[in-house]
Structures are given as structure tokens and as C-alpha cells.
Structure 1
Amino acid sequence: MQFVVGPQAARLGTLHELTKLTPIAIIAEALGYATKTIEQHASASATTYSQYVANRHATTPASPV
């Protein structure tokens, strides 16, 4: 099976990973983005992930102690 990822999805995925590892100001300067743009992307990525964790935790049965 082969998966095809479009250029926009690849770019957003890369920005998502970079915001985990590098300060926003450095990413913005190195890639030519506005700092606000990278900040918004980082915030949106974190929100999405935190919602996933919360939903996953809510649907996973508690393990017996």
C-alpha cells in the first residue's frame, strides 16, 4: 500500500514537529515566516494534541489497581 502526502500536509507536519523542538522565533526567521504565524500553528498543534490525549483518556477503561 502506498500513501501519498500532499505538499501542504507535509509542510504543516514539518512545522508541527519543528515547533516541538525549536523556539518559534528561530523557526520564523530561518524559514521566512511571520513569528505570529508560527505561534498560531504551534498553539493549534498543541490544542489538537491535548484534545486527543483527553479524549483517549476518557475512552480508555481504568486499569485495576
Structure 2
Amino acid sequence: MSIMRLFTFILSIFIVGMVEMMVAGIMNLMSQDLHVSEAVVGQLVTMYALTFAICGPILVKLTNRFSSRPVLL
């Protein structure tokens, strides 16, 4: 694996992790805006993370048949 590919992979993993954790800082604002408790917003974040964890490997397996260019488009 080339250094550029490795760097791109590490950067993309960092960005995904950062986006998932960013919601924790604004949960109280989201709960106020949606007029629900912070627990409900926390459950929403948990459901997103579980969906990402379950569907991520499945999508990788499904899109492995195609070349990377059509998958990105």
C-alpha cells in the first residue's frame, strides 16, 4: 500500500470518527431544538452508530464487486 493511500485511509477514518463524536457536544442544543430530552437524542446517536457499524461491512462486501470509480460516483 502506498503512503498516499495509507494517508487517505487514515484521514477518512479520522473524519468519520470526528463527525460521529461531534454530535455529543451539541446534544443539548439538538434536544432543545427538537423539543425532546437529551436521552432521546442520545438514542438517536446510538442508532446512527449501530447502523453505521452494521451496514458498513455489508456495504463493503456488496460494493467490492465494482471498481472504485463507479462506487464513488
Structure having greater relative contact order (Cα 8 Å, sep ≥ 6): 1
Normalising by structure 2, we get a TM-score of: 0.46
Normalising by structure 1, we get a TM-score of: 0.50
